[in-house]
Chains A and B, each alone.
Chain A
Amino acid sequence: MTNLSYQEKNIWGSLIALFAGACWFLGDAIPAFLAGTPPSPERLAPWIFSIFLAVLVIELAYHVTLSVCARRDRRDERDALIEAKAGRNGYYVLGGGLIALGFHVGIWQLVGADPALNLSIAIVAIVTLLVLAESSHLVSKLVYYRRGV
């Protein structure tokens, strides 16, 4: 951790918090689907919201601690370029995933699957997609910082 820049430490903190939240949610949600007892959309909403809040609090605490303990670098043009390129990668994943999800939901509608189950799956798929998009955004930033942009 010592040879990491302030920005890289920030990204690692966000990435770890994101993965912890994702594992917490998907670790419970996916086995429930596989066991044939999918959570209802009414149960999923507060569940996702509470995990989102927990991740937010952990991230905030980490970033505040880091800004107090570590020497804070100002952002320059390279940081802005890396943010733009990594953001583009994240949006590609999000856009591609949403198109694929829309296609799948359309197929379910065509075959007349249970609408409540359909919505539960769609919510879990969207959360997974958001996690993947944000992960690719953060990992891209780390790669650009290390390998060059």
Chain B
Amino acid sequence: MITNRIKTLRFGADQMSQQALADEVGVTRQTINAIEGDKYSPSLEVAFRIAAVFGVGLDEVFNWEPE
């Protein structure tokens, strides 16, 4: 299962909104919401884009746990 820390990182980045992150990444707000809620695993490209917005590595945003 893939989990993520996007919500924490958003609040750490001056309480960035989902819409602001979505605009930076180039997806819809609903997609950011689905990723945060572990309802959707993004493509590698979108995952890298999200990490780049926060200026951190991919492994600091996403975590994979074997089921």
By a beta-carbon cutoff of 8 Å, the part of chain A in contact with chain B is: 5, 7, 73-79, 145, 147-149
Chain B residues, CB < 8 A from A77: 27, 31, 42-43, 46
Number of residues of chain B lying within 8 A (CB) of chain A: 14
Q: Are B28 and A73 touching (Cβ within 8 A)?
A: yes
Chain B residues, CB < 8 A from A79: 28
B30 at the interface (CB under 8 A from A): yes
Partner of A76, one of B27, B38, B39: B27
Chain B, 15-42, CB within 8 A of any chain A CB: 26-31, 34, 37-40, 42
* CB-CB nearest 6 A-B residue pairs: A148-B39, A76-B27, A78-B31, A73-B28, A5-B30, A76-B28
Chain A residues, CB < 8 A from B42: 77-78
Report Cα–Cα, A71/B34, bound state, in Å.
Answer: 19
Q: Are A78 and B26 touching (Cβ within 8 A)?
A: no
B46 to A: closest C-beta gap in Å: 7
Chain A residues, CB < 8 A from B38: 148
Chain A residues, CB < 8 A from B37: 148
- Among B34, B38, B42, the most chain A Cβ lie within 10 Å of the Cβ of B34
Report Cα–Cα, A148/B40, bound state, in Å.
Answer: 6
Partner of B26, one of A5, A76, A148, A149: A76
B52 to A: closest C-beta gap in Å: 17
Known contacts A148-B34, A148-B37, A148-B40; 6 further A-B pairs (Cβ under 8 A): A5-B30, A75-B28, A76-B26, A77-B42, A78-B42, A149-B40
Report Cα–Cα, A73/B38, bound state, in Å.
Answer: 21
Chain B residues, CB < 8 A from A74: 28
Chain B residues, CB < 8 A from A75: 28
Chain B residues, CB < 8 A from A78: 27-28, 30-31, 34, 40, 42
